[in-house]
Amino acid sequence: MVLMSQSSTDSGFSADSWTTGESSRKSWDSGAGGYQCDADGSFRCITTLAGHSGHVSSLAVVGGLIYSGGSDGSDIRVWRQPDMQEVCSFGAGEGAVKALLVAGGMIFSAHQDMKIRVWKAVPGRSEPKLAAALPTMKDYLLRCVPPKNYVQVRRHKKSLWIQHHDTISVLAQGVGNVLYSGSWDKTIKIWRLSDFRCLESIVAHDDAVNTLVADRAGFLYSGSADASIKVWTKIGKKHSLVSTLKGHKSSVNALAFSPDERVLYSASSDKNIAVWERTAVGDEHMAMVGILRGHSQAVLCMATIGNLLISGSADKTIRVWMRGKDNSHTCVGVLEGHRGAVKTVTASVEAVQEGVLIYSGGMDRLVKVWYFAPREENFDFHNYGSQPTAASTVVASPLKWRFESDGNFQSSPAGTACSTPSRWKFDSISQVSSVAPSPARLKSLQGNESQGSASNFSKHLERNFSLEFIPDLSSMAYRGSEALMLHEDVMVKLRERQGSG
């Protein structure tokens, strides 16, 4: 499905008129419809993870583990790939989780109770341990006496400037070992990760700060319910405003960079995704060059991976957009399945060499995992870095599932935050759609007659091959070592055939 360009009377332009001028912004309309996919690839929901008693507001994926935080305030749940089993939960009673970030070997969770909690893995324990709550008691005691450290937060109330005084909505990691937090109190706070000290507080917007994203050049972009995007950079010891981007008619809910950071996407309650491009390489100034239309309600979350943009909306759908080499954008799929607004999305290619896993959480209390197999010539597999979004982040960590001669999976590296087994019997995997070699690798293994025998092919699988988690391949059976893909009941089995020649 290719997006239809609107006529010039609707302020839209054809694909040939892609420029950066104010009057030539391009508008794409993806049209209506349900689950859709064109020849660019195929989509499938491979599993649904249930367990939260409230809506799922944040997701993070790292080291083969999926972290999900919810509004119920009961805990943060951890799910293991590829069998998608829940392996542990932590943080019970700490309040509704609004954002998750994994950085520096630690897990950061932002809460409705106005605190940031830091979790660390403990050897011998499955659940991470609470290491700190920000602001720390040490930081509080150092600043609580001088009156100058207090700011007016309400008509008759003052608070230390290091404290948020409303829900913390977003976390983002910046260059220089710093953490940014944004809040409904309209401020951004900057924290030093080495000692968790609050370095600075910025009164950033006229309304709630909903989203933050930092680039590698040191610029920080903030999106707000006041419908603006602001660009900040550190000058001396303090951050200063360098630019304000306006173009949305309603709240800015999510920001995401393309991996090359040349394109910034902003999602809004006005149902649109604005596309911004840098006016020069390394420049903080951005110009709006297009609008992605298709969602029928507010766009709440986004993630980027390679040349794909994934957006989730209050209309209960997820849209996948592909950026072309000419910077045009095509909607290549609309994913339906959630029964409530989609609050958070993220994506990963770590477990899939030639495809993308999309993770989504929604108001229906569910986490869904989707598989997308784009055409290799269209998808940029070599530039797939994902960017933090308003409610989620991906930390790249190569993870593949290697076939072992005893009929097990061996994962490498193991998960970082929960001490869980890294080996599973094939027959125990009941929620994964299928596991198979990538088509390119199969072709290379079967490319000549000397490798055509069952025993030789089995040895290649055992010794040299990394089994990839590829849900959308057709069912296959190999003589010798038989890999039987049963898509119907979503199980994977491998049986070693005795006496094969």
Domain range summary for the chain, segments of one domain joined by +: 4-398, 401-496
Structure tokens at 262: 């040349």
Give the SS3 label for residue 148: helix
Q: Can you give the pTM of this predicted structure? A: 0.71
Structure tokens at 248: 């949305």
Q: d(Cα 310, Cα 392) in Å, to the nearest integer?
A: 12
Architecture of domain 4-398: 7 Propeller (2.130)
How much is the pLDDT for 74? 65
How much is the pLDDT for 484? 30
Using alpha carbons, select from 318, 301, 297 the residue that is nearest to residue 372. Answer: 318
How much is the pLDDT for 147? 83
How much is the pLDDT for 264? 96
Identify the residue whose tokens are 């006529």: 7
Structure tokens at 61: 């994926």
Chain centroid offset of residue 10 CA? 33
How does 370-386 read in b/e, with b if 16+ C-beta sit within 10 Å?
bbbbbeeebbbeeebeb
How much is the pLDDT for 376? 58
Q: d(Cα 41, Cα 242) in Å, to the nearest integer?
A: 41
How much is the pLDDT for 189? 97
How much is the pLDDT for 381? 55
How much is the pLDDT for 281? 64
461: left (phi over 0), alpha (psi -120 to 50) or beta: alpha
Which pLDDT tens digits describe the chain residue by residue (501 residues)?
Answer: 333 322 333 322 122 222 223 333 444 444 333 333 333 457 889 999 998 988 999 999 988 899 999 887 668 999 998 889 999 898 877 778 999 999 888 999 999 899 999 999 888 787 899 999 999 999 889 888 888 888 887 767 788 898 999 999 999 999 888 999 999 999 999 999 999 999 999 999 999 999 999 999 999 999 999 999 999 999 988 999 999 999 999 999 999 999 989 999 999 999 999 999 987 766 667 899 999 999 999 999 999 998 999 999 999 999 999 998 888 999 999 999 999 999 999 998 855 556 889 999 999 999 999 998 876 566 765 554 444 343 333 333 333 333 333 333 333 333 333 333 333 333 322 222 233 333 343 333 334 333 344 444 344 334 433 333 323 222 233 222 223 322 222 223 333 333 433
Q: d(Cα 412, Cα 148) in Å, to the nearest integer?
A: 51
Q: Please spell the DSSP secondary structure of 352-421, one letter per residue.
A: -TTSEEEEEEETTSEEEEEEEEE-TTTS-TTS------SSEEE-----EEEE-TTSEEEEESPPSSS---
